[in-house]
Amino acid sequence: MSHPTRLPSRLALLLAFLFLPTACGDQHSPTAPPSGLAGASALHPGGPGSGFPSTIDRFMALDAGPVAIAHRGMGPNLGEDPSRPIENTVPAVRQGFETGAPVVEVDLQMTADGEIVGWHDDFLEDFTCIGSLTRRELAERAPHIDSFQAILQTAARFNRNNPDRLSGLLTVDLKPTSPHCDPEDIAERDARFVSNVVRIIRRMGATELIYFNSMSPVLLGQARDLAPEIPRQLTLIVLQFLTAEEVEAALGLPVTLVDKDPDYGLQWAEVGPVYRLPGYASVDQAIATAFATGSQFVSYDLRLLGQMEQAMPGAAAELVQASKAMGFRVLAGDVSSAQEWHFGASLGVAALYADDVPLAVSLQPPLHE
C-alpha cells in the first residue's frame, strides 16, 4: 500500500468526525536514555501492596464523581500551545497532577531496543517510526520524549506526597501499531510490547497505581494473561461502529479489512496508513468483547453517546446504566467544554477523560469513598 507524503495524526482523524452533530454540543524536561529494563528501580521497598495512599482499588471504590482524568497529561499538545507542556511527557504528567486531576492518562510506545516511552502515535512528527529507532537514537531526534520509568516515578511521587486525597494514579494506553510502522502486523511485537510494559510496572512495584486501557482487545488480552492483577479498560470510539463505506466517505482514506483476531471474532480494518482497529457490529458485541478481555472498565466516546442520545433520547443513559449493572465502571471522553462535562456527568459515568484539564478539575465534585 502506498502512503501519502503527510500522514494525519490519529487526533486529526478523530477531529474529522466533528461534523457529526452530538447531543453534548461543540467539541471544542528531557530525560536521558534509560540504561534498560534492568535499570527500572523499585518505587518502594515493600513492593506491591505497600507504600501508596492512593490505589486503583480506591479509585474504583469511589461512590461520587465523575472523576477528572487528565488526557495525555495536560491535554493533546505537540507544541502548538506554548502555555502547556508537550503531551505524554513528565512535565505534562506533573502539571496534570498539580492541577488536581487524581488520574492521568498516558500513551506508550516501544523503541527498537524494547524501551517503553510516552508518546501517542507510533511515529514522530516527521513520520519516522519510533520502533525503527533505539532509545538513544530517539533521544537524539526527540529529546522531549520521556521514558515510562520517569513518568511512573512522577506519579508515585505525587501519590506519596498527597496522602489526604486521591492522586498519583495512571491509566496506561496500550496502542495498536499503525499500518505505516507495522505493515506486516507482527504478533510477536505486540506481545513484546505488553511484556516490557508489565515488567517495568512490576520491577518498580507499581501495580497498584495503574490500570491499562486500549482499543485493542488483543493487547488487553495479553495484559490480562501477563498481569491479571492490573485492571483493564476497553476503549470504544465512534469510528469503530461505522461501516467501511462510512469511514471512507468521512475521512477520504481507504479502508482495508484484515484478519487479526481469531480469539475475539472481530473484524479488524486498516484505515489508510494510520489506524488498525477492530470494528463492532453493535454495542452488544463491544460489551461481549469487554467481558472476554476481563475488563473492569469500559470507556465510551462522548461522540458515540451523543449520537445515541440524538437518535433516541435516553438511550445513552440507558447504555451507561446497563453497563454498570453488568459490573463495569463506565468512563467517557474526551471533554473540552463545560457542556460536554455536564452531558457526561448526566449519564452517570464514573470518570471523564479531559482535554481541558483545569476546566474538568474545576467541575469535578468532592470525591467520597
Note whether residue 5 is domain-resident. Answer: no
| Mean pLDDT of all residues in 15-23 | 35
For residue 230, give its domain range.
Answer: 53-234+295-363
Residue 5 pLDDT > 80: no
Note whether residue 138 is domain-resident. Answer: yes
Note whether residue 222 is domain-resident. Answer: yes
CATH number at residue 130: 3.20.20.190
Are the C-beta atoms of 320 and 348 separated by less than 8 Å? yes
What is the number of structural domains in the chain?
1
Note whether residue 241 is domain-resident. Answer: no
Note whether residue 223 is domain-resident. Answer: yes
Note whether residue 35 is domain-resident. Answer: no
- Beta-ladder partners of 104: 70, 170
pLDDT tens track for 55-89: 999 999 998 889 999 999 999 999 999 999 999 99
Note whether residue 272 is domain-resident. Answer: no
What's the pLDDT at 295?
A: 98
pLDDT tens track for 142-195: 999 999 999 999 999 999 999 999 999 999 999 999 999 999 999 999 999 999
Using CB atoms within 10 Å of the CB of residue 355, give its burial: 0 to 12 exposed, 13 to 18 middle, 19+ buried.
buried
| Mean pLDDT of all residues in 203-207 | 96
Note whether residue 165 is domain-resident. Answer: yes
* Residue 203 main-chain phi, psi, to 5 deg: -65, -30
Residue 320: partners with Cβ closer than 8 Å, 6 or more residues away? 300, 305, 330, 332, 347, 348, 349
